[in-house]
Structure 1
Amino acid sequence: MEQVFQIEGMSCGGCVASVERALRAQAGVQQVAVSLADKQAKVAFDAAQMDATRLRAAIEAAGFEVVG
């Protein structure tokens, strides 16, 4: 499954790395692509192990806001 999250609060490469690190640490995450320019993260994950709600929570726990 793939999910795209719109993220507010990223302002630099360090922010991108923080979001990537938070998402990759989650069980079942297979691929992560975070774009500072587009203010979004695309995440491919195994729906049997993870869901979008928990991925959103991981982004927010890293200090960023998921919009939409």
Structure 2
Amino acid sequence: MKQKFQINGISCGGCVARVKDTLEAHPNIEKAEIFLAPKGASLITMNAALSVADLQEQLDELNGYTITEIN
């Protein structure tokens, strides 16, 4: 299942790599694609549904990033 999200706080390739690694460490996330154009746009592939709160909790391991769902 793929879902679109916006991750605020992404400003460079290093941010993309850190956020991608952190999200993909979650056992229910198969793949996280994060883009710099448009900045912070993300496509996350999950093998079980996760809420935005679940994803934010995973991102809280890093400082300065917030995630919202794009419908």
Q: Taking structure 2 as the reference length, what is the TM-score of the superposition?
A: 0.75
In 2, Cα distance between equivalents of 1:56 and 1:41: 13
Quote how far apart the aligned CAs of 1:13 are: 0.6
In 1, Cα distance between equivalents of 2:68 and 2:45: 19
Runs of 4+ in 1 over 6 A off after TM superposition: none
Runs (5+) with no aligned partner, structure 2: none
Instruction: State the partner residue of 2:42.
Output: 41
Quote how far apart the aligned CAs of 1:67 are: 3.6
**Residues matched between the structures, number:** 66
Mapping of residues 1-68 of structure 1, within 5 Å: 1-38=1-38, 39-47=40-48, 51-52=50-51, 53-63=53-63, 64-67=65-68
Q: Percent identity?
A: 30
User: CA 1:40 to 1:61, structure 2 compared with 1: closer, same or farther past 3 Å?
Assistant: farther
Q: Taking structure 1 as the reference length, what is the TM-score of the superposition?
A: 0.78
CA RMSD of aligned residues (A): 1.8
Runs (5+) with no aligned partner, structure 1: none
In 1, Cα distance between equivalents of 2:3 and 2:68: 13
Structure with greater strand share of residues: 2
Structure with greater helix share of residues: 1
